[in-house]
Amino acid sequence: MVQKKATEIFSQWASTGKDIGMEVNHSPAVDVMLDDLIGMQTSPFSIIDAGCGNGWVIRRISEHSLCERAIGVDGAKEMIDKARTLDVDGQYFHSDLLKWIPNEKVDYVHSMEVIYYFKQPEQLIFHIAENWMSSNGVMIMGIDYYEENLKSHSWPMDLNTHMTLLSIEAWVTLFNACGLSQVSAFQTNASNDFPGTLVIKGLKK
């Protein structure tokens, strides 16, 4: 069976309303990530959400009093169409993340449950670091599909799409190899049968 593109799956989810469930399920982890990223912010900042879906994270960040620019980009057209409908004043771009480059670099890049869908995630991380992030910019990524989360291993077969499975250590190594420094990793919102969302953060020097 030919694998589906992840963007096809997410477009279908936007059409059927499954994107709302994604927001509900991922909100606790994203709250932790945003608090870690901008919780102590004291100066104006700009941010891109890589794989923004229906724009729910961008809408949330835009409420921050110091947020000057918040941009969402996603490869699923229906998700971007929905984001533009829900947030007519927001900045949303439909594009392959590997090809898209913002007009101006930003202070922060956020991504939730996106990067492992790429066959060579290091290409995307490097592209983001080189072309999206300002000097001293920070990238933060959250994923639930990783080696230590054993229950996630069936997801590529369940969804019939490609996913790149790496360990926590391998993701940290990848961030370092892509030129990011002070790379850190932690797991958040763990429960009895879930080791938590893996969060990786790195600084561009």
**In this predicted model, what pLDDT tens digit does every residue of 104-127 receive, in sequence order?**
999 999 999 999 999 999 999 999
**Do 68 and 45 meet the contact criterion of CB atoms below 8 Å apart?**
yes
Name the residue among 30, 37, 19 with its Cα closest to residue 74: 19
Q: What average pLDDT does this structure show over 26-52?
A: 97
Tell me if the pTM is above 0.75.
Answer: yes
Q: Is 80 exceeded by the pLDDT of residue 199?
A: yes
Q: Who contacts 138 (Cβ-Cβ below 8 Å, separation ≥6)?
A: 37, 107, 108, 109, 201, 202, 203, 204
Output the six-digit token pair for 120: 């060579």
Coil, helix or strand at residue 29: helix
C-alpha to C-alpha distance for 42 and 67, rounded to whole angstroms: 10
What average pLDDT score do residues 19-46 get? 96
Strand order across the beta sheet in which 45-50 lies: 91-94, 67-74, 45-50, 106-112, 133-143, 197-204, 180-188
Predicted confidence (pLDDT) per residue in 10-31, tens digit: 999 999 999 999 999 999 999 9
Pair of tokens at residue 142: 């959250």
d(C-alpha 140, C-alpha 119), whole Å: 19
| pLDDT single digits (tens) 65-111 | 999 999 999 999 999 999 999 999 999 999 999 999 999 999 999 99
- Domain architecture of the chain: domains with CATH: 6-36+45-204 (3.40.50.150)
Would you say residue 1 has pLDDT above 90?
no
* pLDDT bucket at 2, cuts 50 / 70 / 90: confident
pLDDT of 175 above 80: yes
% of the chain with per-residue pLDDT over 90 = 98
